[in-house]
Structure 1
Amino acid sequence: VRSGQVISWEWGIVEKGTEKGRTITVTDRPEAGVAAGTFLWNRAYVTSTTYDPYPDDNTAVFITGINESALVYLPLVLRNY
């Protein structure tokens, strides 16, 4: 299995109150890499990703635009440090 390879998929939670272009985090799940186009339950979607400054805190950082809480389907990515 290569570093960066998707090994499984899990649901995460995106908190409401975020704005388009705002960097937000996904919590309540193992460390994730979030790809552009990732599906959101409320039909929003991930527009781009940004480097996760704290890769071991069970969050994944990305940029999107939603105005309500949402579930997001995340790829779990193997990372070599």
Structure 2
Amino acid sequence: MDSEVVLVYTLDEALNHVGFGRFQILVLVYAGLDLVAEAMEWNLSPAQETLLTSVVFAGLLVGSYSWGFISDNYGR
């Protein structure tokens, strides 16, 4: 009989195997630089930055509950 060996990894195992290396550091640096560049380009006051951040998190909260409800009722 032919037996095939199938390796199955969980997400945590795959992330631990890949590790945190040069690529991940570069992605974080570029994302941070982009955040600074956007803040300079938009010329927002601190109050506007705070409001923008709050709106993003409020959208995540509403979207998470909404899509959770939809996926529970209509399947995934």
Per the shorter chain, which TM-score range? under 0.3
TM-score, L = length of structure 1: 0.16
In terms of fraction of residues, the more strand-rich structure is 1
In terms of fraction of residues, the more helix-rich structure is 2
Q: Which has the higher contact order (CA 8 A, sep 6+)?
A: 1
TM-score, L = length of structure 2: 0.17
